[in-house]
A and B are shown apart, each in its own frame.
Chain A
Amino acid sequence: MPDLIVDHVAKEYPTRGEPLVVLRDISFELSAGENVAILGPSGCGKSTLLHLIGTLDEPTSGTITLRGENPFSMNEPQLAHFRNRNIGFVFQDHHLLPQLSVLENVLVPALAEGSPNNAQINRARDLIGRVGLAERIEHRPAELSGGERQRVAAARALIHNPSVLLADEPTGSLDRTNANAIGDLLLELQQQENTMLIVVTHSLELASQMSRRLELDDGRLRETE
C-alpha cells in the first residue's frame, strides 16, 4: 500500500464572485523511497498542492492520507505533532533563524515538543556532516553562502526522519552550480533516509533528476515523461 495517497483533492478559494478553483480532482500516490517533481507554470497551484500535502493547508474536497493517517481529521496539537514527525520542508527561502548556529537551526524542529535529546543532537551532527557542513557546525547563517544555507534547511527537514520531504522551489534562489548540488543532495538524502521526496520546481533540470514528473496545468495533474 502506498505511503502517500492523494485522492481526488480539490482546492478552491472564495472570492467575491465565483470561487477560484486552484486544484481540481488531483490524485496520485507515492511510496517510500520514491521521488517526484511537480512542474507547471507560475500560479498553477504547485505550491498549494505541496502545502496541502504538508498539512499547512486543507483541501476543499478529497483526502490525503500519509501512511494510512488522515491528518485533516486531527486537532491542532495532533496535527502539529503529525507534521513534526512525518513531514520535512525545504523552502525556496531557507528560513533559517539568524540568531542560531547551524547545529541549533537543524535542531529547531526538536524544540517543538520539548528539548532535543542526545540522539537528536547526534543525528543533527550526522545530517550536518552528510550535507557537508561538519566544519561549519557552529557558524551562524550570516556566515554561510546561499547554497550552504539551503543545505542546512535540508538537514533541518530531515531531523525527525520524516515520511515525506517536501521541497518548494529549493533551488529557486541559487545559481546553477549550487542548484545542481542541492538537487543531488536532496536525492541523496532521500535515498539514504528512504523517504518520499516531492519537489515543486520550475527547473526542468532539477525535475529531470527525479524519477517521476507530474505537471500541473489548469488545476489538473498529469504524469509526464
Chain B
Amino acid sequence: MSFWRLVIRSLTYHWRINVAVGLGVAAATAVLTGALLVGDSVKGSLRHLTLERLGKIDEVLVTDRFFRTELAAELAASEGFQRYYEHAVPAILFPSTTIELQSASHTGRSSNVLIVGCDASFWDLGDGVRPKALPGEGEIVLNQALADDLQAAISSQVVARLPKGNQVPADSPLANKSDRIRSLPGLQVVDVIPARGLGRFSLRASQSVPLVAFVSIATLQDVLDQDGKINSVLVSLKPNIAPTSDEAQSASKSLATALHPSFEDYDLSIKRVTRNFANSEGQAETIYDYFSVTSDRMILSPVAEQVAARAFEPMGGQGVVTYLATTIRKEIGREGEGERGKQGAIAYSMISGIDVKSDFQLLDLGGQPIGRLKDNEVILNSWAAEDQGAEPGDTIRVAYFEAETTHGDAVETHADFVVKAVTPLTEPSSSYRPRREAEYSKRPTLANDPDLTPEVEGVTDQETIDDWDAPFPFDYDLVRSQDDNYWENHRTTPKAFVSLATGERLWGSRFGRVTSFRIPAREGTTAEKIKQAFLDELAQQAESLGMDFMPVKRRQLQASSGTTPFDGLFLVLSFFIIAAALLLVALLFRLGVEQRASEIGTLLAVGLRRGQASRLFVAEGVLVALDGGMLGIAIGVGYAWLMLAGLRTWWVGAITTPFLEFHWSIKSLLLGYGLGVLISVLTIAWSIRQTKRLSVRRLLAGQATGNDAIVYKPQRILSIVAILCIAVALGLAALAVRLGGMAQAGAFLGAGFLMLTGLLLLVWVRLKSGGRRDLKPFTGGWALTKLALRNAGRNPGRSVTTIGLMATASFLIVGLSSFRLAPSTAGAGGFDLVAQSSESVFVDLNSDEGRESILADKKDVLDGGLVFGSRFKPGDDASCNNLYRSTQPRVVGLTDSFVKHFDLDSVTKFRWMKTEARSDTDKSNPWHLLAATDDSIPVVIDMNTAMYSLKPPASVGTDLELTYDGQTIHFHVVGLLENSVLQGSLLISEANFERLFPDVSGYRYFLIQSPAGKSQQVAEALEERLSDQGFDAVQSSQVLEQLFAVQNTYLSTFQSLGALGLLLGTFGIAAVQMRNVLERRGELALLRATGFREKRLAQMVLLENILLLVGGLATGTVAALLAVLPHKFTGEASIPADLLRDLGLMLLAVLIVGIVSSLLSVRASLKVPVLSALRGE
C-alpha cells in the first residue's frame, strides 16, 4: 500500500462526495475560464472587425485637398513602395456626408455617411464582398446599414451632399459660406451590399456599423470639378508582412519617402506674370516679370508660407498679402462711422501688403524710388490719391473686414495710415473685356499689377462690381461710378500698398498670412526650379502639408486591445459565481472530511503525523481538482458562449452592437484551468487545516467539529455598535438626499451597507446571547419555528455567515441598482437637444439674423431658446459606447458665449466630478478654466472618457499627449464632468481650438435649449432647414440613455450573474445544512426516538433553512432598499419599477432554489440511522 494507492482508493471509495467537490471545482474553473474567453472574444472580435472592414488596406492617405490621380500610380511604381507594398488604389473619400432618400412616400436622411469614390481596384482590396456591378455615372451602391437607415432599396433615388474641396477657409470673410456643398441628385441605388468586408469600410475604430455609400470616382470628380483628381490613396502591404510587425514600421517610413506629391498636389499654383510695353519707338520694355506662387485656397497655410519663405528667399521671393478694403478715404475726424461717413470713399478696393525693395521698387510721382514703409504708412496709387485728393502726409482711413469671422459674421474695422507717397498708375487705352486684358498706349507702371491679388471666386472673376457674388456684406450704395470705372480698367489692381508686416498683422489669420509669393523672373529662374526649391525645402523641413499616410490597420489593431479589459470585467461580474463555487468546494470538501473524521482519527491513532494525514486528503483534493478543472474548461467554453450570447442580446447595451464572435486562446484555457485548480486546492487545503485543532479522540468518535457546548453571553458592546451603525445609516441616508449624482448614489449605498452591517450585528447579538429566556417556551402556533430559530442559534457563526452571505449578495444585487443612471437635466447641462452636422454651419443661431437666415418662417420656434454651436474636430468616439481604445478622440471647441452662459445662476449646470478651480469665479463656473492659452491646452472631459476610454486613465491634473494631423498636442485636464452628454469628446475653448485646428471652420456640434415643450418642433425645423448640412438633432435624454446603457447594462449583467452565483450559493447553504445534520445526527435521532414524525422533523430542518435564507435575503433587501428607494424618489437613479419586480422575482427564485436544495439536507437528515446516530457511531 503506497501513499498514492491509498489516495486513489479513498478517491474512488468516497466517489460521491468527490464528484460533488469536483463539480464545485468545475464551476469555479468554468467561470474563470469563461471570463477569460469573453476577454479573448471581445479582443478577437474587435481585431476581426478591423481586419474585415479594412480588408487588405493597411495605410491610407486622406487629405482635405485634391491631388492628381497619377500620384497613386507614381507611388506604386516607386522602389520604396514596391519593396513592402502591393497595391496603391486611388479613391475619393468623404467621411462625413449626408444622403437623402427621395421618394413620393418617404424622405429619409442619413448623416455622417462615408462616401467612397472608387473603381474596381478598391474592391480587390476586400475579401469578396463587392457590388454585383460597379456603380456608373448617376449610380450609387449602399451598404445594408445605410439602406436600412434610409429605408432605401435597389432602384431608389437618393441625393448625396458633399463638401466642395479646395476652398477658401470658411471662416474668412472672403469665403462663400452658402456654396460649400455640392449635391449629387438623382443617384440611383444599383445595389445594396452586406455591411461586412469592405461593405463596412471605415477609417474609424468603432464596433458600430458605419453607414457607407460607394460611387464611381468619375462621378465625384465631375460634380466637384476635380477632373483627374482624388483625395485619397489606399495602400496594402505585401501579404507576408504583418501590419503590427517591425517590418511594417519600416515599411511606413519607406512609404513616406516614396510619396512624391508635385507642387500642384499641395494646392499650389505658379504663374509667370509679365507685363511688357512697347514704347513709341517700338522697343519692348519689361515693366515687371515675376513668378507668382498662390494657393487654391486664396491664402497659403502657415506651414506652406514658412517653407516657401525659406525656399524662395535665395531667389528674391517675397510674400504678398492682398486684402479687400471696403472703403478707403482721406478725410477722418468726421462724426460717427455711419453710412454718411463713407460717402465719397473709394469702395471695395484691393490693398496689398508688400515690402518695397529692389525687386518691387515703386516710384513716386517724381520718378523717385519710394523708401521702406513704416507700420503706419501707406502708398496710394495715383488714381486713389486723385480720387481722394490725398497727398503725402495726409491720413488715410482704410476700412476692412476682420480676417476671421465668428458664426460667419463679417466684422468691419479700420486702420489709419499716413500717405508716404503716391505712385503713378497708368490708365489703359482699352479697358478689360471678356477674355481680354486691358491695353496700354502709355507705359504702365509696377503698380499696374492686378495679379498681386489672388483669385476669389465670384469676385475677382466678375466683369463688373455689380456682378460680384460677394460672400461678405456688400453695400451697393457705396459703389460709385468711378469705382466701376476702376474695375473696368484695372480690375484687382491694388490701390494702396502697406508693408508686408502691416498687411500680415491686419489681415493675417489662423489660415495664413500671405496670399502669394512674388519671385522675380531673374535669369535662370524657372517655374520648375521654383517648384523644386519648394519641394526640396519641404523635404528638408520634414513637412508634408497633410500628405501623410495613416497606418490605419496598425492603429486599429492596436486599438482593438480595447478600452475595457473584458476578461477582468467578467471576472468581477462573475465574482459571486466564483465565490459561490469556491464556497461549495470548501463546504463539500469539509463535508467529506467530516464524514471521514473517524478515518482521520484512525490514521492519527495508528501513528501518522497530522501533516501526513493532511497530505493524504490534500492529494485526494488535488486529484479531484485536476479532474474537476478539466471539466471546468469544457463548461467554461459553454459559459463564455452563454455570456457572448448575452452580450449579443440581453446585454447588447454594453457593446452597442451585437458583433461578438467566440474566440479563444490556449493561454486563457491554461490560465483558467490553472487558476481554477489552484484556488480550489488552496480552498481544500484550508478546509483540511481546520481539522488540525481537533483531538484524536473527537475525530475517532466521528466528530469533526469543536466542542458541542454552546455558551451564551450578553453582547452589549456589539449591540451598541449595531445600533450605532443603523443610526449612522439613517443619518447618512438623510444627508444623501441633499447630495447629487455619484456622491448621492455612493452615500445611499454607504447608508445601505451600514444598515446591512448593523442588522447582521443584531442577528449575531441575538443568536450569540441566546435571546430572551422564556419560562413558557414553545407555546402558541409557532413552536416549531421557535425551535428552528433556536437551532439556528446553535452555531451562531455558521448561521450568521449563511445569513451574511445571502444578505451581502442580495444587498449588492439590489443595492447596486442605486448606481443605475438615468438621464438628468444636469447631465445635459439643461440642454434638451444635442445635434451634429455633417458639414459646418456658419450662422449664429442665437442671433435674429442667424435664425432668420436659416429658419425663415419657422424662426419663431426658437423664441426663448438657445443654440450653442461648437467647433468640431472629428475623431474617435471616446465614450463608453466605443470598445476600441481611443487614440485620437474628437475635439469640441466651446465658444465664449457657451462658457458665459454658465455664469448665470438661473441656468441648469453640468455636474462636475472634480476640477482644478481655485478662484471663486472658476469654482462657480469651471468652464472658465478652459480660457488659458498655455502651450498645454486646458481640456475638460467626461469622467467616463477619462477613466475608461483613455489609456492610461486620466484625471484632473493629468497631461495628455495626443497626435492630430501629425502634430503632437499637449492637453492638461482641468475638469471632469460627471455622467454628461458630452462624454466621448475632448472639450477645449474655441480660441485654443482655432489655434490647434486652423483649417476647421464653422460649427458642427450643437447644444440646444428649446423653448418649453417645443423640443420636437425645434429639432424638426433645424433638421429640415439645415438638411444640406446633414443636421441631426437628438434628444439629450436619448443620448444620455445610450451612454448610460453601458453602465446600466454592466449592472444588469452583474445582477444577473450575481443572482446565478446566489443560486449556486443556496446549494452551498444546503451543504451547510448537511454539515449541520451530520453534526446533529444524535440530536435528530433522539427527536425521532422521542416521537418526532419524519414529516415533522423535515419541517423543522426545512424551517431552519428557510429562516436562514429569508433572514439573509430580508436583511440584505432591507439594507438595499435603504440604498435604493430614497435614491429613486429623490435622486437620478434609473430604477424602473419592472427592475424592482425582476429583482423581487430573482430573490424569490433564489428562495425557491434554496428551499429545494435544502430539501436535500432534509432527506439526508431522515436517512441518518437512528440507532447508530444515538450510539454516536
Our verdict on whether A and B bind, yes or no, reads yes
Q: Is B474 an interface residue (CB 8 A)?
A: no
Query: Is the Cβ of B784 less than 8 Å from the Cβ of A93?
Result: no
* Alpha-carbon distance A54/B790, docked complex (angstroms): 28
Cβ distance A145 to chain B, nearest Cβ, rounded Å: 12
Q: Is B686 an interface residue (CB 8 A)?
A: no
Considering the complex, which residues of chain B in the window 768-804 have a beta carbon less than 8 Å from any beta carbon of chain A?
Answer: 770, 773, 775-784, 787, 790-791, 793-794
Would you give the 0/1 interface string for A107-118, flagging 1 where the beta carbon is closer than 8 Å to chain B?
111111111111
Q: Is A180 an interface residue (CB 8 A)?
A: no
Q: A56-B1089, A140-B770 are in contact. Are A115 and B776 (CB under 8 A)?
A: no
* Alpha-carbon distance A98/B1089, docked complex (angstroms): 18
B770 nearest in chain A by CB position: A140
Q: A107-B777, A115-B780 are in contact. Are A99 and B1096 (CB under 8 A)?
A: no
Considering the complex, which residues of chain A in the window 130-172 have a beta carbon less than 8 Å from any beta carbon of chain B?
Answer: 137-138, 140-143, 156-157, 160, 168
On chain B, the residues within 8 Å of A114 by CB distance are: 783
Q: Is B709 an interface residue (CB 8 A)?
A: yes
Q: A103-B777, A115-B778 are in contact. Are A142 and B1090 (CB under 8 A)?
A: no
B709, B773, B778, B1171 interface centre (most CB from chain A within 10 Å) = B778
On chain A, the residues within 8 Å of B779 by CB distance are: 115-118, 121
Residue A95 contacts which of B776, B777, B790, B1082 (CB distance < 8 angstroms)?
Answer: B1082
Q: Total interface residues on A, using CB and 8 Å?
A: 49
Query: Is the Cβ of A99 less than 8 Å from the Cβ of B708?
Result: no
Query: Is the Cβ of A98 less than 8 Å from the Cβ of B710?
Result: yes
Cβ distance B601 to chain A, nearest Cβ, rounded Å: 17
On chain B, the residues within 8 Å of A116 by CB distance are: 777-779, 783
* Alpha-carbon distance A137/B773, docked complex (angstroms): 10
Would you give the 0/1 interface string for B676-720, flagging 1 where the beta carbon is closer than 8 Å to chain A?
000000000000000000000000000000001111100000000
Query: Is the Cβ of B1091 less than 8 Å from the Cβ of A107?
Result: no
Query: Is the Cβ of A104 less than 8 Å from the Cβ of B712?
Result: no
Q: A56-B1171, A93-B1082, A103-B777 are in contact. Are A80 and B710 (CB under 8 A)?
A: no
* Alpha-carbon distance A54/B782, docked complex (angstroms): 29
On chain A, the residues within 8 Å of B1175 by CB distance are: 47
Q: Is A85 an interface residue (CB 8 A)?
A: yes
Residue A98 contacts which of B794, B1091, B1096 (CB distance < 8 angstroms)?
Answer: B794
On chain A, the residues within 8 Å of B710 by CB distance are: 98-99, 140-142
* Alpha-carbon distance A21/B1140, docked complex (angstroms): 65
Q: A89-B1086, A101-B777, A115-B783 are in contact. Are A95 and B770 (CB under 8 A)?
A: no
Q: Total interface residues on B, using CB and 8 Å?
A: 41
Q: Is A83 an interface residue (CB 8 A)?
A: yes
Query: Is the Cβ of A98 less than 8 Å from the Cβ of B1092?
Result: no
* Alpha-carbon distance A143/B710, docked complex (angstroms): 9
Q: A99-B793, A112-B1090 are in contact. Are A142 and B709 (CB under 8 A)?
A: yes
On chain A, the residues within 8 Å of B1096 by CB distance are: 80, 112-113
On chain A, the residues within 8 Å of B1089 by CB distance are: 54, 56, 83, 87, 89
On chain A, the residues within 8 Å of B770 by CB distance are: 99, 140
On chain B, the residues within 8 Å of A107 by CB distance are: 777-778
A169 nearest in chain B by CB position: B1175
Cβ distance A155 to chain B, nearest Cβ, rounded Å: 12
B1175 nearest in chain A by CB position: A47
Query: Is the Cβ of B1171 less than 8 Å from the Cβ of A80?
Result: no
On chain B, the residues within 8 Å of A76 by CB distance are: 1093-1094
Q: Is B1083 an interface residue (CB 8 A)?
A: yes
Cβ distance B924 to chain A, nearest Cβ, rounded Å: 63
* Alpha-carbon distance A98/B770, docked complex (angstroms): 11
B708 nearest in chain A by CB position: A98
* Alpha-carbon distance A40/B658, docked complex (angstroms): 80
Cβ distance B588 to chain A, nearest Cβ, rounded Å: 25
Q: Is B458 an interface residue (CB 8 A)?
A: no
Q: Is A97 an interface residue (CB 8 A)?
A: yes
Query: Is the Cβ of B1093 less than 8 Å from the Cβ of A112?
Result: yes
Q: Is B918 an interface residue (CB 8 A)?
A: no
* Alpha-carbon distance A206/B776, docked complex (angstroms): 35
* Alpha-carbon distance A219/B1174, docked complex (angstroms): 22
Q: A56-B1170, A138-B773 are in contact. Are A111 and B783 (CB under 8 A)?
A: yes
Q: Is A44 an interface residue (CB 8 A)?
A: no
On chain A, the residues within 8 Å of B1171 by CB distance are: 47, 51, 56-57
Q: Is B901 an interface residue (CB 8 A)?
A: no
* Alpha-carbon distance A85/B775, docked complex (angstroms): 24
Considering the complex, which residues of chain A in the window 64-111 have a beta carbon less than 8 Å from any beta carbon of chain B?
Answer: 76-77, 80-85, 87-89, 91, 93, 95, 97-101, 103-104, 107-111
Query: Is the Cβ of A111 less than 8 Å from the Cβ of B712?
Result: no
Q: A97-B1083, A115-B780, A115-B781 are in contact. Are A77 and B1093 (CB under 8 A)?
A: yes
Cβ distance B1146 to chain A, nearest Cβ, rounded Å: 33
A138 nearest in chain B by CB position: B773
* Alpha-carbon distance A108/B1088, docked complex (angstroms): 11
* Alpha-carbon distance A99/B1100, docked complex (angstroms): 15
Q: Is B1095 an interface residue (CB 8 A)?
A: yes
On chain A, the residues within 8 Å of B952 by CB distance are: none
Query: Is the Cβ of B1090 less than 8 Å from the Cβ of A156?
Result: yes
B1092 nearest in chain A by CB position: A112
Q: Is B1168 an interface residue (CB 8 A)?
A: no
Q: A56-B1089, A77-B1095, A116-B783 are in contact. Are A104 and B709 (CB under 8 A)?
A: no
Q: Is B470 an interface residue (CB 8 A)?
A: no
Could you tell me which B residues sit within 8 Å of A by CB distance?
708-712, 770, 773, 775-784, 787, 790-791, 793-794, 1082-1083, 1085-1096, 1170-1171, 1174-1176
Could you tell me which A residues sit within 8 Å of B by CB distance?
47, 51, 54, 56-57, 76-77, 80-85, 87-89, 91, 93, 95, 97-101, 103-104, 107-118, 121, 137-138, 140-143, 156-157, 160, 168
**Beyond the given A51-B1171, A98-B708, A115-B779, could you list 12 further A-B residue pairs with CB under 8 A, ordered by the A residue number?**
A56-B1088, A80-B1093, A83-B1090, A89-B1086, A91-B1174, A97-B794, A99-B790, A99-B794, A109-B1091, A114-B783, A117-B779, A143-B711
Q: What are 9 inter-chain pairs, A to B, with CB distance below 8 A?
A: A57-B1171, A93-B1082, A95-B1174, A97-B1083, A98-B794, A101-B777, A111-B783, A112-B1096, A160-B1091
The 4 A-B pairs at the shortest CB distance, nearest first, are namely A84-B1091, A115-B783, A142-B709, A109-B1090
